[in-house]
Amino acid sequence: MRNRQRERAAAFRESTTGADVELAYAGFNRFLKGEEREVDDVGDVDAAVLGAPYDGAVSNRPGSRYGPAAIREASGWWAYISDYKGGLTNMQTGKTVNFDDLSVADCGDVPIFPMDHETTAESITSHVAAVASQTFPVLLGGDHYCTFPSVRGFAEGADHDSVGFVQIDAHTDTVSESPVFGTDFHGSSTALIADSPYVDYENVSQVGIRGYESPDFFEFADETGLNLYTMREVDERGIGSVVTDAIEAAAADTDAVYVSFDIDGVDPSVAPGTGTPIPGGLSAQQALETMEVLGAHDAVGAADLMEVAPRYDSTEGTQRLAAYLLVTLLERAFAE
């Protein structure tokens, strides 16, 4: 009798048109409804997603620990339309996108230790390294401190000697040490990355920077070779030109480029769901064009989307934009 009931469900799915379509709000929340995989079993997919639900290194509002789940849920819409409609025309780019050519696995969340940033960092490094040894890793944050161990894991897992780093952000995250937060917090992630064996400031490009930094920051940028593209420069030159220069500078004489998109790089009128919102940021259109340019560049080998704190956005627009940004990057890289 029990076997008959199981066969009944299978027969229904086989005989009913549309039963194989998973609605955006149905099923388990995996990024783009990708197949659930272990980190040691992703060698046959284009990209593998990991979550890092950690916000123990923030200096302002917490809440990005809920970012990975929110981005995954929001990504269900693009999974639905791509599955239901097959090949699609991206009206942003004018390109035809065949999502059958894009295979994504979701490896779930890495183990997190909320009161222990060192063990959390080692967890992120080891899991990203496992994925990077096989395919393109995508990390969902989490606060921006998580990017440091992720870059380290990417370099070690993919066996890269040198890595370029493109950071879309309101803040530079170049504080070496804070009297309040110490040396390991989300404002120090780029300093830690540039101090690693894999990345030099000359191959760090930062896009959309605004707000306030230290009094001598421009001198610091000149001395270190940091490729700095402020929001003022974006407005004057256009986002496409700026991002093209940014990726070329990061890729020069490196083995691959890691892309980190802090959602506070986008103006808070568009993406308020973040811990440290700064007015005057990228529009949604500029953010999407940023990912179009980056996704089309052969040097890009890993990416993350950080600092989505969904509880500060009752409209859920922040996580929708975050998911769309990653979809844009991945479709340009693998589905066009």
Specify binding-site residues: 144, 169, 171, 173, 262, 264
Beta bridge partners of 274: 308
d(CA 154, CA 142) in angstroms, rounded, equals 17
- Tokens 């940021």, residue? 281
Residue 277 CB burial class (10 angstroms; 0-12, 13-18, ≥19): buried
Angle, to 10 degrees, between the axis of helix 147-158 and the axis of helix 117-132? 40
Q: How far is CA 48 from CA 2, 36, 37, 92, 279, in A?
A: 36, 10, 9, 25, 33
Look at strands 96-97 and 88-89 and give their pairing: antiparallel
**Known binding residues for Mn(2+):** 144, 169, 171, 173, 262, 264
Q: How far apart are CA 200 and CA 221, in angstroms?
A: 12
| Tokens 């952000």 found at | 169
Angle ∠(282,287,292) on CA atoms, nearest 5 = 150
CB 176 within 8 A of CB 149: no
Helix, strand, coil content of the chain in percent (nearest 5): 45, 20, 40
Backbone φ and ψ for 174, nearest 5 degrees, come out as -110, 20
Peptide bond into 317 cis (omega under 30): no
The alpha-helical segments, DSSP class H, found in the chain are 2-15, 67-85, 117-132, 147-158, 189-194, 217-224, 231-237, 239-251, 284-295, 317-334
Q: Name residue 206's amino acid.
A: Q
Q: Are 164 and 205 in contact (CB under 8 A)?
A: yes
What are the tokens at 314?
Answer: 């009752």
